Structure 1
Amino acid sequence: MKLVKSLLLGSAAGIAAVAGAQAADLPSRKAAPVEYVRVCTAYGAGFFYIPGTDSCLRISGRVRAEYAIGTRYSDYQDAYGTRARGRLNIDVRTATAYGTLRTFIRYELTNNTGIYGAGGVTPFNVGATVPGFVRGASSTSTGSLLDLAFVQFGPITAGRAQSFFDFYASDLNFASVRTADSRVNLLAYTATFGSGFSATISAEDRTSGTVGRELPGVSFNPLVGGGAGAAFVQGQDYPDLIASLRVDQGWGSAQLSGAVGQRKYATAVALNAVNGDEMIWAVQGGVKINLPMLAAGDAFWLQAAYADGALGYLGWSAGSLGLGRIGGLTLADAAINPITGNVENSKGWSVVAAFRHFWTPTLRTEITGSYSELKLKYLDAAAVAFNGVTARSADPKEFLLAANLIWSPVSGLDIGVEVLYSHLDVRSPVGLVNNGNARSALLGIKSEDSVAGRLRIQRDF
């Protein structure tokens, strides 16, 4: 019996030893390490490391809904309009031995109806009004916009970015307030001197620009006069050159900026006959003063600008000038004097003031006003027809006043109402926009008022 027990125990031990040896010979599979997404704190909230890299990524955006009503001047125009806009931001930053390497993209899709449409009276872009003969032209439109796409590497900024000429950008997002606010294709170098001081030199392609932070792209192509003083734009030799000096400190910020460029014009009779290069320039100064003694976040802005041959630097859109019943007056950066044959630039100036106040941490108001005057070098053909004797340029004078009341019940959500009042005076009486014709020779007016309001619901994330 003892012999049998010994044999059984020995057999079991041998089998266990063999099994152990075979198990040791089998290949083992180690679990792959799990790579978790890590928060990146170097560049503020919302950034995280892209797995497998040392670059930090932040994805953000906006959804915006607007419901507007405005003064109606014709049966062909809608009295209301709606807008839906989606925005996506992608921000990637990497620390390098030469400083931060940043890549930023902002893309927008917008659907407009009614008074927001390209062919209707647009109270939030007064100055680019084209009254339509049929409602269909202004009933709806959909557009896409690559608003920003740039690379920053140390002091260099390349791509599509905010113009370094600009200073004040309205929280109201009323594009009609006359302030330069455009994104353009540019190449810039910024030098920092410490204590918040910096200086920038930028080469900017104004033909790529946008007018208004909340509108689809509007061409900044040099405006030209039509009719007897028509000047046809020819190719430029170089982009506009921008220089700015800026300071940002605890009390606020200030900036002095200037622009200089070149335009070529030719007569309508001989497009190849260049009437010479015409230099254009603009200058702007602005200051922002923080007012924490009133409430956290309160601030006051004051800005003034002057332009010679470049009305876009004042915040005016390319195209026709119109407000309410006034229509068909062409804005022109320059025109050719039919008597002397010389190119003559249009000139203008504008002043903007704004005040932002937080009634409570979740309730704020911003009030913005602008006044501008233009001296147009353009003999308006319509003025000849309606005045019958002397053709004179419109030389518009414009006053705009906008205000809002915004409630932010939770972070990133804005619900509010906004109103805009516009007043336009022109030098000579012009025809009316009426139901049967774009312009009527029966009556002439020299001034017009317009009022518009909107409800805005906006979520930023």
Structure 2
Amino acid sequence: MKLVKSLLLGSAAGLAAVVSAQAADLPVRKAAPVEYVRVCSTYGAGFFYIPGTETCIRVGGRIRADYLYGEPLTRAEDAVGFRARGRLNVDTRTATAYGLLRAYIRYELTRSSGTPFGLSNTGVGASLSTNLAQAFVQFGGLTAGRVTSFFSNADLPTGHMGTLRFDDAPDVTLLAYTFSFGNGFSATLSLEDGLERRRGIDAFDFDPLGYAGQRVPDVVANVKYTGTWGGAQLSGAIHQLRALDLFTNPVTGFTDYPDTEYGFAIAATAHVNLPMLAPGDALWIAATYTDGAPAYLDGGNAGTIISPFAQYEFGRPTLVDATYDPLTGDLKKTRAWAIAGGFRHYWTPQIRSNLFGSYLHSDSRVSVANSGDFREYRIGANVFWQPVSGLDLGVEVIYANTDLRGVNPVNALGYRDSNGWEGRFRVQRDF
């Protein structure tokens, strides 16, 4: 038995050795390496490396729901409006020998209805809009694409939901270069799309003139300082006014085009951090003067002077870039200025409020037979509760009062002072 057992064990060991030797001669298939997503902490929270590259990416977005009450003027107007907005944005950044290479895109879908949002009061009047809000490339000091205008100071700690009269961070298409001097100082020269800053050219006799083709873009420049205490910026812009239509002198019969004119805008903005009151507290102010470029008073937003409030009792005039005299063909540029400001205070880390207002004064406007002035002031306040990070629940009230002198050419009735107020409730989730 011992002999048999030894033979069996010896045979098994020999067979195992043979099998092992044959297996060693076969090709071995290696497992593919596992590539894990790496966190990129260089540019803040939420960034990670795109696998196989040294580019960091962050995907984010926003969902916003607004419920707006606007005081109606007529029975045909809605008192309430509804809006839902969705936003997706992708931010990619790569460190290079020439500086930061960044590509950013923000896309928005908005569904609105109701007179308070500028729409008709029928179901058909509900609006679904798509908007490529931002799409730009930054390489060192170069910025190309659609981004916040360099006339605006996007660092202002504003917290209002409604409209105030200053250049409230509008997005425009541009080509710009920023010079960084260190210690918080920088300067930017930007060529921006002037088509997005047009407010129209009208005649003293109420016949509207069309804008001719753009020959030069708006030239924008700023000087900026950012420090631990806050920041300040001085901005300037030049805007071309070029009428399309001919005018004919009714006395001489002479026909010609109005001369091309150039308007301008200047603005000074500043904000101060007030941590001695509470962490996050801040005060801001923006002062703007325009001559032939009133769109720089409110970011180029289309609409009426008192939008989103009720119209004037006998009309709805708007600010324009210029009017022209059909007797001479001269363009008279609209001069206007505005000042806006606000204060943000954190009552607790989760509850904050904003108090804000603006005042606008203009020496001329469209659709009135005589020159004169127009004045408007707005004041408002809101409060936000942030129960969890990224979720804001807010309510706001704004009151506006306007003073316009003149006669509506359509019905020959004088404009009356107008005032109105709006109330808004917002639910917003950022991620």
Q: Give the alignment's TM-score, normalised by structure 2.
A: 0.90
Q: What is the 5 A alignment of 1:52-67? A: 52-67=52-67
**Structure 2 residue identity aligned to 1:403:** A
- d(CA) in 2 for partners of 1:169 and 1:175? 15
> C-alpha deviations, 1:313-335, integer Å up to 9, x for none?
11163455455241332432112
Deviation at 1:238, TM superposition (A): 1.4
Deviation at 1:107, TM superposition (A): 0.9
| 1:154/1:345 CA distance change after superposition, 3 Å | same
- d(CA) in 1 for partners of 2:380 and 2:147? 26
1:408 aligns with 2:380: no
> C-alpha deviations, 1:287-337, integer Å up to 9, x for none?
111111111111111111111111101116345545524133243211211
| 1:325/1:245 CA distance change after superposition, 3 Å | closer
Deviation at 1:269, TM superposition (A): 4.6
- d(CA) in 1 for partners of 2:116 and 2:86? 16
**Structure 2 residue identity aligned to 1:415:** L
Q: What is the 5 A alignment of 1:149-188? A: 149-167=135-153, 168=156, 170-188=158-176
Moved more, 64-73 or 230-239: 230-239
1:265 aligns with 2:243: yes
Corresponding residue number in structure 2 for 1:317: 301
1:105 aligns with 2:83: no
Q: What is the 5 A alignment of 1:201-212? A: 201-207=189-195, 209=196
| 1:261/1:23 CA distance change after superposition, 3 Å | same
| 1:289/1:191 CA distance change after superposition, 3 Å | same
**What are the ranges of 5 or more consecutive residues in structure 2 without an aligned counterpart?**
249-254
Q: What is the 5 A alignment of 1:254-403? A: 254-269=232-247, 273-315=256-298, 317-318=301-302, 320-321=304-305, 323-326=309-312, 327-376=315-364, 378=366, 380=367, 383=368, 391-393=369-371, 395-403=373-381
1:457 aligns with 2:421: no
Q: Is the 8 A contact 1:364 1:407 kept in 2?
A: yes
- d(CA) in 1 for partners of 2:128 and 2:374? 31
Corresponding residue number in structure 2 for 1:95: 95
Deviation at 1:226, TM superposition (A): 4.8
Corresponding residue number in structure 2 for 1:388: none
Q: Is the 8 A contact 1:118 1:138 kept in 2?
A: no
Structural RMSD (CA): 2.4
Deviation at 1:372, TM superposition (A): 0.5
1:224 aligns with 2:207: no
Deviation at 1:247, TM superposition (A): 0.3
- d(CA) in 2 for partners of 1:137 and 1:15? 85
Match of 1:249 among 227, 235, 238: 227
Q: Percent identity?
A: 47
Query: Equivalent residue of 1:446, what SS?
Result: coil
| 1:266/1:190 CA distance change after superposition, 3 Å | same
Deviation at 1:73, TM superposition (A): 1.5
Q: What is the 5 A alignment of 1:13-162? A: 13-120=13-120, 135-136=121-122, 139-162=125-148
Query: Equivalent residue of 1:15, what SS?
Result: helix
- d(CA) in 2 for partners of 1:445 and 1:335? 19
Corresponding residue number in structure 1 for 2:398: 420
**What are the ranges of 5 or more consecutive residues in structure 1 without an aligned counterpart?**
121-134, 210-219, 384-390, 432-438
Aligned length: 417
**Structure 2 residue identity aligned to 1:88:** L
> C-alpha deviations, 1:367-416, integer Å up to 9, x for none?
111001112264x2xx4xxxxxxx21463211111210111111111111
| 1:392/1:447 CA distance change after superposition, 3 Å | same
| 1:78/1:368 CA distance change after superposition, 3 Å | same
- d(CA) in 1 for partners of 2:222 and 2:301? 23
**Structure 2 residue identity aligned to 1:85:** R
- d(CA) in 2 for partners of 1:349 and 1:330? 15
Q: Is the 8 A contact 2:187 2:223 kept in 1?
A: yes
Q: Give the alignment's TM-score, normalised by structure 1.
A: 0.84
Deviation at 1:26, TM superposition (A): 2.0
